[in-house]
Amino acid sequence: MPIDKVASRAVDAAVATATALGLDVGHTTVLHASNRITVRLAPCDVLARVAPVADRAGAAFEVEVAGLLAGTGGPVGVPESRVRPRVYVRAGFAVTLWRYHEPVPGELAPAAYADALVRLHAGLRRVDLPLPHVTDRVGQARQLVEDRRRSPDLGDADRALLRDTLTNLGGALVHGAAEQPLHGEPHPGNVLATGNGPLFVDLESCCRGPVEFDLAHAPEPVGAHYPAADPDLLGRCRILTLAIATAWRWDLADRFPDGRRLGLLWLDQLRAATGY
């Protein structure tokens, strides 16, 4: 995967951190590069997640949640056991080290995806952590949309579409639906298919809300296998999560691969879904 200078510095920080901790690093493979870098370190077989040091608190929260969920038997990726599970700060980056799992080829079956999400939600209910409400996430996306300095390339009509969708559907989430701790973004990119079954990663987005909000990130067939999911609420959550993801693609600081093209594509999908 081609990477820019910032990502290259992030990889160097990961290698230096792992080497200083006594792990053997001979070569690296960048698996994902956006606002955070995910890199496989070999031959020690460790996964390093590297974020700007300003995101240190989020990285520390992710390590804490992963450790607690692993204690419940929840299906999550876990910190590397050969080093202390914490955030390591180096060269302006926050580095966390995780156990690497060799991916299993093939698409994850909807029933297996749903079962893993049910078990994750059960584990989250056993974890005592202060979590933001899902409407806080909606509010952050709305603030981005309303701030022209942060999203200068977003046209007026598209800005209105995103603002109204986030406001109307976000407000509807607080009325009547049962709530519990959630992953926050359990989309396929955050689910590893491994020899030990599906494992969820990227836990810093955990929040509270209806399970349908989590289900909305999964492929549509998964919802039919999740017990007692409300199809109407799930449909609204699918539109809401699309609006949130679309909003972030217009952030000047966004480094998601091909983000602007996706932002345009998702605006079209949002217009079709809302009839705006």
pLDDT digits (tens, 9 = 90+) for 5-40: 888 999 999 999 999 999 999 999 999 988 899 999
3 confidence band (pLDDT: 50, 70, 90) = low
Predicted confidence at residue 1, as pLDDT, reads 53
Q: For the chain, what percent of residues have pLDDT higher than 90?
A: 87
Model pLDDT, residue 177: 78
Range of the domain at 127: 110-274
Res. 2: pLDDT tops 60:
no
What mean pLDDT do residues 141-145 have? 98
Q: What is the CATH number of the domain that holds 221?
A: 3.90.1200.10
Whether residue 60 has pLDDT greater than 90:
yes
The pLDDT, as a whole number, for residue 175 is: 67
For the residues of 214-261, what is the DSSP string, one character each? HHTTS-HHHHTTSTT--HHHHHHHHHHHHHHHHHHTT-TT---TTHHH
Percentage with pLDDT > 70 across the chain: 98
**105 within some domain:** no
More confident residue, 196 or 15: 15
Give the separation between CA 88 and CA 152, rounded to whole angstroms.
Answer: 34
Is residue 56 domain-shared with residue 150, that is, in the same domain? no
Does 127 lie in the same domain as 219?
yes
- Residue 128: predicted pLDDT: 87
Kindly list the distances between the CA atom of residue 128 and the CA atoms of 65, 131, 151, 205, 248, in Å, as whole numbers in the listed order. 10, 9, 36, 16, 29
Say yes or no: 74 and 171 in one domain.
no
pLDDT of res. 172: 77
Beta bridge partners of 27: 42
Indicate the SS3 state at residue 4. Answer: coil
Q: Tell me: the pLDDT tens digits for 205-264?
A: 999 999 999 999 999 999 999 999 999 999 999 999 999 999 999 999 998 989 999 999
Is residue 76 over pLDDT 90?
Answer: yes
Predicted pLDDT of residue 67: 94
Instruction: Tell me which of 99, 132, 148 is where a domain ends.
Output: 99
One domain, residues 174 and 84: no
User: Residue 133: inside a domain, yes or no?
Assistant: yes
Q: Is residue 104, in this structure, part of any structural domain at all?
A: no
